[in-house]
Amino acid sequence: MARQRKKKGRPVSGWLIFDKPKGMGSTEAVSKIKWLFKAEKAGHAGTLDPLASGMLPIALGEATKTVPYVMDGTKMYRFTVTWGAERTTDDLEGEVTLTSADRPDEAAIKAILPKYTGVIEQVPPKFSAIKIAGERAYDLARGGEEIEIPAREVEIDRLELIERPDDSTAILEVECGKGTYVRSLARDMGRDLGCYGHIADLRRIEVAPFDEQDFVTLAELEAAHPPVPEGEEAGEQSYQAIAERFAVMDAFLIETGAALDCLPQVAVSDDQAHRIRMGNPVILRGRDAPVEADEACVTSRGKLLAIGFIEQGQFKPKRVFTA
């Protein structure tokens, strides 16, 4: 019989709302957080370009099971557009392809904003992670291939001009759904205004259900990171000793269940919790208990226990959480 491989890292679970600095890739950020927390498992809820800063929700341990719910959440970005030039990447990284001496006034910018709200058709940037015939668009674009990316529907709830520091610059804020490219917004607005444009700065400030108050910086995490005691490896310490060492860091984590605010939530008794942990359905009791729900979650003693569905007053688990 094959010997079971021992998992590396701590069985820590929760959400870390990382304030990603510019220059750091999303995969690099996840690796860094996983190392800092010595976590067994980690993943992020939505890529953020290296040139962008701001909110990158990172799930540790059991929270990785709730990543799809955060990825579907509304996003909010604050971004700066520089008018007068269009670039290959639609941001500062690319080469200039088109230029214009024209500059839009405030009235002209505000006049086109309604065109970009609601459900709109948007063509993603050529330098994006969109797949074309199984290949990433950015790989094809870097290889010099001419590619055509089809337009797709995205939803924009709000687009607002925040500030106009000078004739060549506009700062805007957008609230949008999954799959929206802010770089495409800058490109398309520039074309409509006849002056061209590209993103000069991009910061994600919200990913529902999280907001700016949840931000944790790399400096805060590094300051809280505990050193390994001299002459002692972390793996040789007791679980309690490790937990005590990481207590300050773990205080930055948000409960796994916070990602599921969009779902109906029902508290269950200890006996019901035991049945659910075994994968069995339970009858929900109480005047306010939902009778039907395509998706719902249950809690036990204030902690997330399972995600499932409710049918004829009965909760049927699909995913059970151990922490």
- 60-108 pLDDT, tens digit per residue, is 999 999 999 999 999 999 999 999 999 999 999 889 999 999 999 999 9
Active site residues: 49
* Beta strand extents in 6-127 (DSSP E only): 14-20, 42-44, 53-60, 75-83, 85-87, 96-99, 118-122
Torsion of CA 61, 207, 54, 167, to 10 degrees: 170
In angstroms, the CA 259 to CA 288 distance is 22
The pLDDT score that the predictor gives to residue 318 is 95
The pLDDT score that the predictor gives to residue 300 is 93
The pLDDT score that the predictor gives to residue 72 is 93
pTM, rounded to two decimals: 0.89
The pLDDT score that the predictor gives to residue 73 is 93
Q: Which two tokens stand for residue 1?
A: 């019989």
Which pLDDT tens digits describe the chain residue by residue (323 residues)? 455 555 678 899 999 999 999 999 999 999 999 999 999 999 999 888 888 999 999 999 999 999 999 999 999 999 999 999 999 999 998 899 999 999 999 999 999 999 999 999 999 887 656 665 565 655 655 655 666 778 899 999 999 999 999 999 999 999 999 999 999 999 999 999 999 999 999 999 999 999 999 999 999 999 999 886 665 554 556 667 777 889 999 999 999 999 999 999 999 999 999 999 999 999 998 778 888 999 999 999 989 999 999 999 999 999 999 87
CA 229 to chain centre: 34
Q: Decide: residue 277, CB within 10 A, 0-12 exposed, 13-18 middle, 19+ buried.
A: middle
The pLDDT score that the predictor gives to residue 240 is 72
In the chain, the domains with their CATH numbers are 14-72+210-250 (no CATH), 75-205 (3.30.2350.10), 263-320 (2.30.130.10)
User: In sequence order, which residues have a C-beta less than 8 Å from that of residue 84 and are 6 or more positions away?
Assistant: 99, 100, 101, 102, 103, 168, 195, 196, 197
Torsion of CA 214, 217, 221, 223, to 10 degrees: -130
In angstroms, the CA 150 to CA 132 distance is 10
Amino acid making up residue 160: E
